Structures are given as C-alpha cells and as structure tokens.
C-alpha cells in the first residue's frame, strides 16, 4: 500500500528572466561575494580600494538572487536615463533608488 507524507504549505518562487548580460553580471558579483580575497587578487586590486580599512571583510557573503521587481526597476531607470540623456542614481525629479524599487513592487527593504 502506498502512503504519502503530508507536506507543509510552501511559497514557490517564480522564474526570473535575465538577459545574458544580467546573468553574467550576477554570476561575477556572486563569485566575488563567495571569495572576496580571491576576486581582488584576480584583478590585482585592493579589497579596500577607495574605502576605509575594515569596511569589507574577506569572509564569504551569501549569494545574491535575482528579483523580478528589482530587475524591472533597474531596466526602467536605465531606459529613463537613456531617454532623458542623463546618468545618475537619482531621477531628475527626485526619485531615488528606494522610491523606484517600491514603485516597482519590491518588498523587503530593511535599512
């Protein structure tokens, strides 16, 4: 006789569609997060280049995962900069990173 184990409810994550360039960037960032000392040695730079000493440790960091809301916000901001011929973290009308990601539906900001 077959029996099945009852599983708890789960939240399933949806697939995120990255371009090839976005996927490569994510992989490079996560490679650096996994082994910061090895990554800076690969490029021949200092871990603290441009930063006060002790700002970053050589301890491995958790990998970043793609998030569709963040991707949508980044793509829209990139397109807006292209359309309006500017380059900045802040929108000319004042929207900053936090405002853009909130408008895109991202939840989970904890700073």
Q: Where are the domains of the chain?
A: 18-62, 67-110
Please calculate the CA angle 72-68-37 and round it to the nearest 5 degrees. 100
pLDDT in tens, 23-40: 999 999 999 999 999 999
State mean pLDDT over 80-90: 95
- 95 has a pLDDT exceeding 80: yes
Q: Quote the pLDDT of residue 50.
A: 86
pTM to 2 decimals?
A: 0.72
**Residue 36 and residue 60: Cα distance in Å, rounded?**
7
**Residue 91 and residue 93: Cα distance in Å, rounded?**
5
Q: How far is CA 5 from the centre of its chain?
A: 36
């Amino acid at each position: 006789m077959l029996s099945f184990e009852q599983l708890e409810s789960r939240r399933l994550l949806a697939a995120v569609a990255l371009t090839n360039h976005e996927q490569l960037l994510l992989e490079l960032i996560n490679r650096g997060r996994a082994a910061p000392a090895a990554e800076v040695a690969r490029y021949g730079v200092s871990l603290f280049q441009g930063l006060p000493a002790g700002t970053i440790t050589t301890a491995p960091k958790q990998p970043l995962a793609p998030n569709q809301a963040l991707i949508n916000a980044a793509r829209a901001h990139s397109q807006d900069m292209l359309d309006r011929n500017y380059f900045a973290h802040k929108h000319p009308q004042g929207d900053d990173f936090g405002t853009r990601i909130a408008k895109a539906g991202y939840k989970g900001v904890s700073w």
